[in-house]
Amino acid sequence: MTEEFLPFARPCISEEAIAEVVACIRSGWITTGPRVARFEQMLSEYHGGRHALALSSATAGLQLALLALDLKDGDEVITTALTFVATLNTIMLAGGKPVLVDIDETLNIDVSKIEAAITPRTRAIMPVHFTGLSVDLDAIYALAKKHKLRVVEDCAQAIGTEYKGKRLGSFGDIQVMSFHPNKNMTTGEGGAVITDDADVIKRIERLRFHGIDRDAFNRFAKTGSQEYDVVLPGYKYNMMDMQAALGIHQLPALQGFIEARTKLAERYLELLKGWPGLDLPQLPTYANRHSWHLFTVRLTDAAGMTRDTFLAKMKEHNIGIGLHYQASHTFSFYRDTFGWQPNDFPKALRAGERICSLPLFPTLTEQEQVRVVKSMKQVLG
């Protein structure tokens, strides 16, 4: 195989963004400061003027958003059985108990099954907009209103996604974005919480920086005061200016990234249509704009091989296929802690065994995409 290894994801970073990072380093101010402030302002504008808090990761954001809700021991948070483990881990780290609901054909949480999972201990619903496809939020917010629950949307894969003509993060309760390098835009590592709840904003501002009620930039800048108070034992989850330097160039490019991803996804749908060995992504009936963070196919019985064999064979063709994700309830910690059985969430189990993410990133060329499809044809026969 002479062709170069093709990864399933690759960040797309402009020369301007690189120059901004260099300028940040040369400026003498590399941690949280003016570039983070500017990035937060841009994120706020992007989400309809709602408040944006930049953080070290989406995992930090999910944890702090849940901590801000002040969960009591035994409080339950409902989420999907098919997600990245950070979703469940952060529920536990914030003192809650994850309650899982199975998925539907779109791979998102089956909203028709959420109400049956609600108990007197339920405090929040944490939907995940999996692969960049919006969950049916009207149904979720109707349930939240009826049962007086908070909603923390895991938008780690879904910045720029739209639901019924509205951008995620521009409405609703609390949203958490990720800027990990594999995501649709990146700051290296990074994340943000979007909300307009003043109490949640105040709590997260304290929790993200040592429980101090005033950020470092104010303390150390010429105009700031050196005095501060510690109001609770906080974390160290602030974003650095070096990271925000990337973000302030990535956010204006996001629209173009999503358009490029959409073109590629449409071509995959066309090229792979009717293959007996594959189930292609299913779209919901409600209006939405997919941001195509992932293009996931599922192997069918007709593929005649396991997913792991398929991944290994594609690797022989120098093509990286992602695995997003094994069903959450099958990991040993969760299985052992909650006694979950494989068939408790049969659709997530089956999807988790058969799911594969094909290479998809804005600079993937048509030629590279054809190469992926050709290799898949050889491997699947």
Ligand X SMILES: *Cc1c(COP(=O)(O)O)cnc(C)c1O
Residues forming the active site: 183
- Assess 86 for contact with ligand X (CB under 6 A): yes
Residue 290 CB partners (closer than 8 Å, separation 6+): 131, 132, 133, 134, 161, 262, 265, 283
Q: Of all helices (H) and strands (E), which one includes residue 350? A: helix 346-354
Nearer to ligand X by Cβ, of 96 and 277: the residue is 96
User: Token pair 């994120």 is at which residue?
Assistant: 43
Letter string b/e over residues 307-323, b meaning 16 or more CB atoms within 10 A of that residue's CB: beebbebbeebebbbbe
Site size toward ligand X, by CB under 6 A? 14
Cα 78 to Cα 147: distance, rounded to the nearest angstrom: 13
Give the residue with the Cβ less far from ligand X, 128 or 272.
128
Instruction: Determine which residue in the list 63, 79, 80, 83 makes contact with ligand X, applying CB under 6 A.
Output: 83
By CB under 6 A, residue 250 contacts ligand X: no
**Is there binding between residue 156 and ligand X (CB under 6 A)?**
yes
Q: Which two tokens stand for residue 181?
A: 């390098």
CB of 82 to ligand X, least distance (A): 10
Is 191 a binding residue for ligand X by CB under 6 A? The answer is: yes
Return the residue of 84, 209, 257, 334 that touches ligand X, per CB under 6 A.
84
Q: Is 87 one of the binding residues for ligand X (CB under 6 A)? A: yes
**Using the rule CB under 6 A, is 8 a contact of ligand X?**
no
Does 167 bind ligand X (CB under 6 A)? Our answer is no
Options 32, 44, 57, 80; binder of ligand X; rule CB under 6 A = 57
Confirm or reject binding of residue 178 to ligand X (CB under 6 A).
yes
Nearest distance from C-beta of residue 128 to ligand X, angstroms: 5
Joined tokens for residue 143: 């349930």
Q: Which is nearer to ligand X, 178 or 238 (CB)?
A: 178
Residue 125 touching ligand X (CB under 6 A): no
Strand order across the beta sheet in which 296-299 lies: 278-279, 296-299, 355-357
Residue 201 binding ligand X, by CB under 6 A: no
* Cα–Cα nearest to 104, from 132, 135, 69, 147: 135
Count of Cβ atoms closer than 10 Å to residue 122 Cβ:
22
Helical H segments across 28-110, by residue range:
34-46, 58-68, 85-93
**One residue of 6, 36, 52, 58 binding ligand X per CB under 6 A:** 58
Residue 56 CB, shortest distance to ligand X, in Å, is 8
Interface region with ligand X, contact rule CB under 6 A, candidates 73-81, 91-99, 150-158, 229-237 = 150-158
Q: Is position 122 an interface residue for ligand X (rule: CB under 6 A)? A: no
What region, left, alpha or beta, does residue 132 occupy, with left being phi > 0 and alpha being psi -120 to 50 degrees?
Answer: left
Residue given tokens 């104010």 in the structure block: 218
Question: What does the block give as tokens for 39?
Answer: 């990035």
128: contact with ligand X by CB under 6 A: yes
How do the residues of the chain divide into helix, strand and coil, expressed in percent and rounded to 5? 45, 15, 40
Q: Give alpha helix (H) positions in 190-292.
A: 198-207, 216-220, 241-271
For ligand X, which is the closer residue by CB, 83 or 369? 83
> Quick one: which segment of 20-28, 79-87, 193-201, 232-240 binds ligand X (CB under 6 A)?
79-87
Residues making contact with ligand X (CB under 6 A) = 57-59, 83-84, 86-87, 128, 154, 156-157, 178, 180, 191
